[in-house]
Each structure stands twice: as C-alpha cells, then as structure tokens.
Amino acid sequence: MDPMLTIAIRAARAAGDVIARSLGRVDPRKITAKSRNDFVSEVDRQAESEIIYILQRAYPSHGILAEETGRQGRHSEDYLWVIDPLDGTTNFLHGFPQFAVSIGLLYRGVPEAGVIYDPLRQELFTAKRGSGATLENRRIRVTNSATLQGALLGTGFPFKDQRFVDPYLGMLKDLIRDTAGIRRAGSAALDLAYVAAGRLDGFWEMGLQPWDMAAGILMIREAGGMVTDLTGGERVMETGYVLAANPKLHQAMRDAIAPHLSEALRREMAGP
C-alpha cells in the first residue's frame, strides 16, 4: 500500500471514530452557523484536529487545506492535503445516518490520492493516481449505463446560493422525468464515492467546495468515470460545479443540463 494512502486511511479512521462515538451526543449549544444553512459542531472540529495531527506528524512539510481551520503551511508546498472532516454535518446533527470523512491529496494541484470513509457502515473508499479505486480493498468501477433512461443519479440541492435555485430546478425537472430516480442523500463526498463504486450512475451539484470533492474526483476518474464542471470544462475544484458519470452518461447529463445554464453561469465556469 502506498505510504501516503496508509497515513490518510489512518487519519480518516481516527476522525471516523470521533464522529461515530459522538452521534446523538452533540451539545446543541456548541453548534454554530457559519452562514445560512451551514452549521459546524465541536465534532467537526475534533475530527479535523485528529486528521491534521496525524497528517502533520507523518508529513510536517506538506500543506493543509481543511474546511474548519483553512490553509496551513507554505503556499509553495508541492503536496496539499484537502480535508473535509465531516461531510454531511446537517445529516449528522439530525442523526440521519449518511456522512463521511473525506481526505484528498493534491500534488502540484493534481489529485494524487484520496480516501472517503463512512464511519457508520465502516466502508473505506480509496484511490491512488494510476492505481485505481477500491472499496474495502476491492477494485471499483463506474457503471456502464449509457442513457438517462433507467439511471439512478445523485445530486445536492443548492441550499446556500440562491442564484442557483431556478437553473437547478429546471435541470432537476428534466432529469426527474428522464431517469429512474434521483437521490439527495446529503454527503457530496459519499455521493462521489458511490458513483465510483457504481451505486449511483451519475451525480451533479452546484456550489461545492474543494474539500467536498478532492478525494471523490480522483476516485471517479480512477474508477473509469469522468468528472467535469456542468459544461464539460476542467475547472471543477475552482468553481464548485461538478458533473460526474461514466463517459457516455456524462454526455447525456450534460445535454440535459445545458439548456438551463444562463450566460452568467457559463462565464463563471469558463473563468478569466
């Protein structure tokens, strides 16, 4: 096993233990809203410090970008760990059993390794660039469903940025009509892992953050899938717009989404 992946797994399991132990025991006075509909609890913070401690002990010179504490280390570092200590905080706070730890490693900005750990099911998803993706040490692959018909898609609702609501509802309406079903399970990292593992045929969301996706993007690519923004562009981590599926279904999803993208959204994805 790759040494950096081994450390990431150790960190993800340690954070997962913190999370599983704390389920149903969060002190409501210690839950704060970072912004509208965006909550953080002491568990998110504890899980994050556990991960950072383990990663920094093994790799003191690597940079860190973590959801709750931000950027640490020199910006010139080649290696950057991108961490979501608890993806699916709202689910966790409600006792809805769908959340995960996500740890991605970038080398000069390119995804190098990734771990997504579901502490309740104790399912460990991993990926290493060039070596494939696994669930519990078994290779995983995206599905080969080529059409929307019969497909099961995952998504996330745009609950923070109101600009996305109308275009999103247009996409949703068309995709509800054309697919077998759509799930909004509440943990983008697990949604991406599920696409890699063939449990979902595809996934799309608007307004994600790098820590939601750093591990999942690599996992899907290593499982034979495609991950782009909603127009097929490469700036996924920069913009937070994500569309993931096997290559054929990816095209079908893009065609369904395209009519709902305003010029402003397209410009944002295209970048400067």
In whole angstroms, the minimum distance from the beta carbon of 55 to Ca ion comes to: 17
Helix axes 210-222, 188-196, angle to 10 degrees: 0
In whole angstroms, the minimum distance from the beta carbon of 67 to Ca ion comes to: 5
- Candidates 212, 240, 254, 257; binder of Ca ion (CB under 5 A) is 212
Segment interacting with Ca ion (CB under 5 A) among 57-65, 66-74, 135-143, 197-205: 66-74
Segment interacting with Ca ion (CB under 5 A) among 52-60, 87-95, 167-175, 252-260: 87-95
Residue nearest to Ca ion (CB): 87
In whole angstroms, the minimum distance from the beta carbon of 1 to Ca ion comes to: 26
What does 187 bind: ligand IPD, Ca ion, none (CB cut-off 5 to 8 Å by kind)? ligand IPD
What does 68 bind: Ca ion, ligand IPD, none (CB cut-off 5 to 8 Å by kind)? none
Measured from the CB atom, the residue of 88 and 198 that comes closer to ligand IPD is: 88
The Cβ of residue 58 has, within 10 Å, a number of other Cβ atoms equal to: 15
Q: Which helix (H) or strand (E) holds 86?
A: strand 79-87
What does 156 bind: ligand IPD, Ca ion, none (CB cut-off 5 to 8 Å by kind)? ligand IPD
What does 88 bind: Ca ion, ligand IPD, none (CB cut-off 5 to 8 Å by kind)? ligand IPD
CA distance 157 to 165: 8
Residue nearest to ligand IPD (CB): 156
Contacts of 229 (CB under 8 A, 6+ apart): 235, 236, 239, 241, 242, 243, 269
Asked if residue 93 lies in contact with residue 39, where contact means CB atoms within 8 angstroms, the answer is yes
In whole angstroms, the minimum distance from the beta carbon of 56 to ligand IPD comes to: 21
Q: Where do contacts with ligand IPD occur on this chain (CB under 6 A)?
A: 84, 87-90, 156, 186-188, 205, 207-208, 212
Tokens of 164: 């996305």
- Angle, CA 226 vertex, CA 168 and CA 75 arms, to 5°: 90
Conformational region of residue 226, where left means phi above 0, alpha means psi within -120 to 50, and beta covers everything else = beta
- Angle, CA 242 vertex, CA 80 and CA 234 arms, to 5°: 65
CA distance 164 to 234: 20
In whole angstroms, the minimum distance from the beta carbon of 156 to ligand IPD comes to: 3
In whole angstroms, the minimum distance from the beta carbon of 47 to ligand IPD comes to: 11
Q: Which residues bind Ca ion (CB under 5 A)?
A: 67, 84, 86-87, 212
